[in-house]
Amino acid sequence: MRPASVTRHQHPHRMTLGSAAIMSSPFTATLDESATTSPAPVPPPRPRYRTELQGLRALAVAMVVLYHVFLDRVSGGVDIFLLISAFLLTSSFMARIQTRQPLAVPRYWIKTFTRLLPPAVATILAVLLLVYLFFPAYRWREVLQQAMASALYYENWHLAAGAVDYYAVDRTQASPFQHFWSLSIQGQVFLVWPLLFLAAAWRIRHTYPRRAPLSAAQVRRSLTWLFGPIFVVSLGWSIYETATSQAFAYFNTFARLWEFALGSLLAIWLPAAEDAFRRNTATASPSGRVLRVIAGWVGLLGMVSCGLMVTVAGAFPGAIALWPLLSASLIIIAGNTGSPWGVDRWLSHPVLNRLGDTSYALYLVHWPLLITMMVLQNSERPGIIEGIVIVLLSVRIAFLLTKYVDAPIRTNRALRRFPARGVVVILLCLALALVPVIAIRGALDRQTARALAAASANNPGAAVLTGASTGPADPTAAPIPLPEDIPWDWAGLEMRCKGRLKPTSAVLASACSQSASGEAEKVILIAGDSRTQQYMAALRPLAEQRGFTLVSILKGGCPLALEGVDEMCHEWNVQLIRHVETLRPAAVFTTTTRILHGIEEVPVPGVDTLVNRLTTAGIGVIGLRDQPRMPFNPIDCVSERSEEQCTVTTRGIFAEEDPNRALARNVRGSGVFVPVDLLPWICPDDQCRPVIGNVFVYLDEDHLTQMYATTLAPVLDAQLTTAGWRW
């Protein structure tokens, strides 16, 4: 079966703007067979075909691909997909409501996911193979998690929870499944939107109980009251959330619902606008046609120019997303102009229509190919030649995926006649995607368990520098954390803060964690950024042995300072210091010097004032000396080169005198300042090595592994005792 927008032998009404026969997928518009066989009356046919919608899809996916590959920017094309998706879905259900046909929501769900899942699962399995063949092992676990999230349509929430930056500069670290975020939002809306139509149909049925077909105005009024508030509330929330937490808002379904609601409102009101246009002889004149032609080209120009003219990083999906969406709406509103100069004439070209047929598959495959190419080249952006290869290969694979996976299922008559078979297809697809993921994760878990069981003998870490160990008992034992576990080797506390340990500030409370054991009056508060967080692993066993409770309040990129930080970090630290002064812990554990890339070590700005403020209040401060930042990812380096080749000298990085010593000489108040310098056990002999004592030291360029930090506990204990700290 060919797409509805280009199939001309069907009833004319089924190709038009308000068609009940168009299946609501942003990539594949196909006839809804349940509508074609229903004996219920239909509204008067509208004679105009909407072949330009197929071309609009093709243009949107082309924008996504070209902007990703060549411009490293976001085009707004995905937002247009969301708009078209809701437009088609609403057109279908609105016609059914008007003719009092059963909405058949379960049948809709089965047909939708029967068509969407097979190409998606084929892509997921192919990407897993690419990852196994070409990606470093430390990325496997995250890829497996995202494969599961993509198959189950919650990838957007997985990315939002990790605050993934969709605009990150280094895309070699981007997930090959990251683009599934939009498909996940669509899948969620495909589940929820029909339920909204059910609610609307129930209300309409009780408001207009007659058995006669409803008027378009009655349906339009009821649906507007449904989707209008969704549009307003979601857009307002999107603007607010984008301004306060853009990385989270980008993947947040609720911050995207307004885009679907806009598509629904367009489908609801456009038929009425068309009727008014035909009745108005003035606008139906040649000059009126010219206005529609102009509207179409203005819309096309707006679509293409958004990603070029606006730096959308930090702006989407807020109000700026109206730009591409209203541009696409202008094209839909312009419709079939009947003019040889109309944009619809160009969008209806057979080449664009054929590309529109494969738009779903093209979206699926282009991103994994792009990320794989960058991983193979270890580059942040492909060159022109590589980019052309990616585009051509993506188009070819998309045609094959459409022809051999999508089309056979989409046109299968047995699946249309027997929905239960669609359920079997859905379950089979989920099994094909999830069983390998679960099996591989189980194998990795068993491998990790075996390595950890022998860690005390084979992975002494810093103990080889203190003389407490002579090295691994098994010289062939692998370093830990195992590469696939390294991205997860973060230090943390297991409980949310409670009682007096919980800050009154909701923002701080959401980031506050505490250890499960320890005395209520013996508290050490760990504050600062993610680099301080990793040292928590060295402090924790010492605190547990002495009955101290650990509390962590950390924020990535925000060292504990009131100077030299941005406004967001400043406000965070102001609230944090107030909480510290209220809580009065035995000590604050934080980093008091700073080492940036290519810059010599300096004290944290304003640290002397801050330390004296705390010690004057009788609060101790344990001040850590910052560790060097590596000029590259050591894990990547070790996977390709020898450990010696991945060793970095520290010459020119450290100050001649440890800044913490000068700080300790000027402390006032009854609280103590305890300087800690663990650098001789992190970079011994001025050499930062990727592996010490068969333990990986760094998990990335900037952070220690939790496992290596744990082996520093005896060294930390000795330094605290020497400096006069009393547990």
How many Cβ atoms sit within 10 Å of the Cβ of residue 708? Answer: 28
- Which residue is associated with the tokens 């878990």? 445
Question: Does residue 39 have a pLDDT over 50?
Answer: no
In the predicted model, what is the mean pLDDT of residues 24-32?
Answer: 42
The answer to whether residue 38 scores a pLDDT higher than 60 is: no
Q: What is the pLDDT, as a whole number, of residue 539?
A: 95
Q: Is the pLDDT of residue 130 over 90?
A: yes
CA dist 109 and 104 (Å) reads: 9
The confidence band for 129, taking pLDDT boundaries of 50, 70 and 90, is very high
Give the 3-state DSSP-derived string for 630-665, with helices as H, strands as E and coil as C: CCCCHHHHHHHCCCHHHCEECCCCCCCCCHHHHHHH
Question: Does the structure show a pLDDT above 70 at 280?
Answer: no
Report how far Cα 377 is from the mean position of its chain's Cα atoms. Answer: 24
Could you read off the pLDDT of 474-490 as tens digits, one per residue? 989 999 999 889 988 99
Residue 34: the pLDDT is 39
The tally of CA atoms less than 13 A away on the side-chain side of residue 418 is 6
Lowest average pLDDT, out of 275-279, 317-321, 389-393, 648-652, goes to: 275-279
Separation of alpha carbons 273 and 436, rounded Å: 51
Cα distance between residue 622 and residue 523, in whole Å: 13
Higher pLDDT, 562 or 440: 440
The separation between CA 637 and the C-alpha centre of its own chain, rounded to angstroms, equals 27
CA angle 631, 635, 638 (to 5 degrees): 95
State the Cα–Cα distance between residues 177 and 368, nearest whole angstrom.
7
Q: What is the band of 621 on the pLDDT scale with cuts at 50, 70, 90?
A: very high
The two three-digit tokens of residue 338, written as one number: 């009947």
In the chain, domain spans: 4-434, 489-722
CA 359, CA 78: separation in Å to the nearest integer?
A: 11
By C-alpha distance, which of 101, 84, 114, 96 is closest to 19? Answer: 96
Select from 316, 82, 32 the least CA-distant residue to 189.
Answer: 82
Is 671 in contact with 616 (CB distance < 8 Å)?
yes
Residue 16 has pLDDT above 70, yes or no: no
State how far the Cα of 408 lies from the Cα of 650, in Å rounded to an integer. 61
- Ramachandran angles phi, psi of 373, nearest 5°: -60, -45
Q: What percent of the chain has pLDDT over 90?
A: 55
CA 669 from chain centre, in angstroms, equals 47
Q: In the predicted model, is pLDDT for residue 15 greater than 50?
A: no
Rounded to two decimals, the pTM is 0.81
Q: What's the pLDDT at 339?
A: 82
Q: Strands 587-591, 523-528: parallel, antiparallel or unpaired by DSSP?
A: parallel
Average pLDDT over residues 387-414: 93
Strand, coil or helix: 144: helix
| pLDDT over 50 (residue 24) | no
Q: Max alpha carbon distance in the chain (Å)? A: 95
The set of long-range contacts for 371-375, using a CB threshold of 8 Å and a minimum separation of 24, is 371/171, 371/172, 371/174, 371/175, 371/176, 371/178, 372/130, 372/134, 372/135, 372/176, 374/171, 374/172, 375/134, 375/135, 375/172
In this prediction, residue 127 carries a pLDDT of 97
Q: Are 353 and 52 in contact (CB under 8 A)?
A: no
Between 142-156, 191-205, 264-278, 420-434, the lowest mean confidence (pLDDT) is in 264-278
CATH of domain 489-722: 3.40.50
Report yes or no: 705 and 481 within 8 Å, Cβ to Cβ: yes
Q: Which of 45-49, 529-533, 568-572 has the lowest mean pLDDT?
A: 45-49
pLDDT at 672 over 50: yes
Distances (CA, A) of 220 to 228, 271, 272, 299, 474: 11, 10, 9, 25, 75
**Of the candidate ranges 215-219, 493-497, 505-509, the one whose mean pLDDT is the lowest:** 215-219
Q: Above pLDDT 70, what percent of the chain?
A: 89
* CA dist., res. 365 & res. 180, Å (int): 11
For the chain, what's the residue count? 727
Q: For residue 501, what are the CA distances in angstroms to 519, 545, 574, 591, 628? A: 12, 20, 17, 21, 32
User: CA 226, CA 237: separation in Å to the nearest integer?
Assistant: 17
Give alpha helix (H) positions in 454-558. Answer: 455-458, 463-466, 506-509, 530-545
pLDDT at 7 > cutoff 70: no
User: Residue 12 pLDDT > 50, yes or no?
Assistant: no
Average pLDDT, the chain: 86
Kindly tell me if the per-residue pLDDT of 150 is higher than 80.
yes
Q: Which of 160-174, 232-246, 437-451, 534-548 is predicted least confidently?
A: 160-174
Sign of the CA dihedral running 650, 652, 657, 661: negative
- Look at 38-47, 270-279, 380-389, 541-550 and tell me which has the smallest mean pLDDT: 38-47
pLDDT of residue 313: 58
3-state SS track over 564-633: CCCHHHHHHHHHHHHHHHHHCCCEEEEECEECCCCCCCEECCCHHHHHHHHHHCCCEEEEECCCCCCCCC
CA separation for the pair 34, 107 (Å, rounded): 9
| Tens-place pLDDT, residues 302-336 | 998 887 777 655 677 888 889 999 999 999 988 87
CB 29 within 8 A of CB 23: yes
Residues contacting 663, CB < 8 A, separation 6+: 592, 603, 607, 608, 611, 623, 673, 675
Q: Which of 272, 262, 258, 261 is nearest to 221 (CA)?
A: 272
Rounded Cα gap, residues 181 and 453, in angstroms? 37
pLDDT digits (tens, 9 = 90+) for 155-203: 999 998 876 544 444 555 789 999 999 999 999 999 999 999 999 988 8
What one-character-per-residue DSSP string does 327-387 give? HHHHHHHH-----TTSHHHHHT-HHHHHHHHTHHHHHHHHHHHHHHHHHHHT-SS--HHHH
Of 570, 579, 521, the C-alpha closest to 548 is: 521
Q: What is the phi/psi pair of residue 587, to 5°? A: -160, 155
State the Cα–Cα distance between residues 727 and 716, nearest whole angstrom.
13
**Using an 8 Å Cβ cutoff, are 601 and 589 in contact?**
no
What is the pLDDT averaged over residues 583-604?
89
Name the token pair of 357.
Answer: 């047929």
Q: Give pLDDT, residue 696.
A: 95
For residues 482 and 447, what is the distance between their CA atoms, to the nearest angstrom? 9
